[in-house]
Amino acid sequence: MTTHPIGIFDSGIGGLTVLKEIRRQIPGENLIYFGDEARFPYGIKSAGTVRRFSGEVAEYLMRQGIKMLVVACNTATAAALNSLREDLPIPVIGVLMPGAYAAARATKTGRVGVIGTEGTISSGVYSKLIKNIRPGTEISALPCPLFVPLVEEGRLSGEIASLVAKEYLAPLKGRKIDTLVLGCTHYPLLKPVIGSVMGPSVTLIDSADETAREVKRVLTKNGLLNPGGEKKSRSLPTGFIRYCVTDAPERFKTIGERFLGYDIPEVEKAEL
Ligand code: DGL
């Protein structure tokens, strides 16, 4: 079982930010990345629909023999993490809890902002988790739907990105937050522009790094860590990566390489 792959799933390309971090922290693990491009985006769909889609993707990945499922999508984590945990016989990790812990640790004033898709923000899950970990925290949560297409179009800086960020983030500026959770897989790519609008006194929380740490911790606890998976200095990754999408593999390859900063040799078209 230790050499079986980890399944990493997102509505599209955004979860590659999580894959990249897992690859960096445990480079010997074999990975299967699944992007549900045919049904992207999840962020504007109802929780029931996102749950159904997530269940279908999980079934597909189980058929590929995965030893762990990482739901590398904030919207899918908010809607489907509990049901996936009930249904699957393997460990299931989401991206919300690691981000919530990081935010609770980072805030000094107890005033935290959360931005994400409409689905994630309306679920209220981030607020609930952060308040459970750090009672009394004041949360200001906002959906920022235009950030996703901006990233998909590669508009990570410049006038348009900066105007959209200023417009969206203006309400948070007045709330005196000291920590902002980037509660969507795409937003870490907009860190420079979000950071320049919010200013240096606001810590930006990117859950990819925390999630990868959690993946390693849970694999270790369950005796599932691939023996080749420990990072040795200067060593190159030894695990394989398979990329599967439900539509438009060429587009995934082009934008995915921008997310990862390295080549994606092949993208498979998956039938659910
Ligand atoms: N991956 C989604 C998330 O993290 C963003 C893209 C979408 O709306 O599907 O919420």
Q: Catalytic annotation on 144?
A: no
Q: Tokens for 128?
A: 């609930």
Residue whose C-alpha is closest to residue 77's, from 148, 14, 3: 14
Q: Which atom of ligand 1 is nearest to the CA of 78?
A: 10
Q: Catalytic annotation on 244?
A: no
Q: Is the pLDDT of residue 169 over 70?
A: yes
CB of residue 184 inside a 6 A radius of ligand 1: yes
Section 216-226 average pLDDT: 96
CB of residue 164 inside a 6 A radius of ligand 1: no
Instruction: Give the per-residue pLDDT at 236.
Output: 67
CA–centroid distance, 227 to ligand 1, in Å, is: 32
What is the residue extent of each domain of the chain? 6-94+208-269, 97-207
Q: pLDDT higher for 235 or 205? A: 205
Catalytic residue among 184, 190, 198, 205: 184
CA–centroid distance, 166 to ligand 1, in Å, is: 21
Q: Whose CA is nearest to atom 8 of ligand 1?
A: 43
pLDDT band of 238, cuts 50, 70, 90: confident
Look over the chain and give the mean of its residue pLDDT values, rounded to a whole number.
Answer: 94
pLDDT in tens, 142-157: 999 999 999 988 899 9
Section 124-128 average pLDDT: 97
User: Domain 97-207: which topology?
Assistant: Rossmann fold (3.40.50)
* CATH architecture of the domain formed by 6-94+208-269: 3-Layer(aba) Sandwich (3.40)
Q: Do domains 6-94+208-269 and 97-207 have the same CATH topology?
A: yes
CA–centroid distance, 117 to ligand 1, in Å, is: 6
Q: Are 119 and 50 in contact (CB under 8 A)?
A: yes
Residue whose C-alpha is closest to residue 184's, from 6, 7, 15: 15
pTM across the whole model:
0.94
Question: How many of the other CB atoms lie within 10 Å of CB of 9?
Answer: 27
Catalytic residue among 13, 58, 66, 73: 73
Q: Is the pLDDT of residue 95 over 80?
A: yes
Q: pLDDT higher for 227 or 95? A: 95
Instruction: Give the per-residue pLDDT at 232.
Output: 53
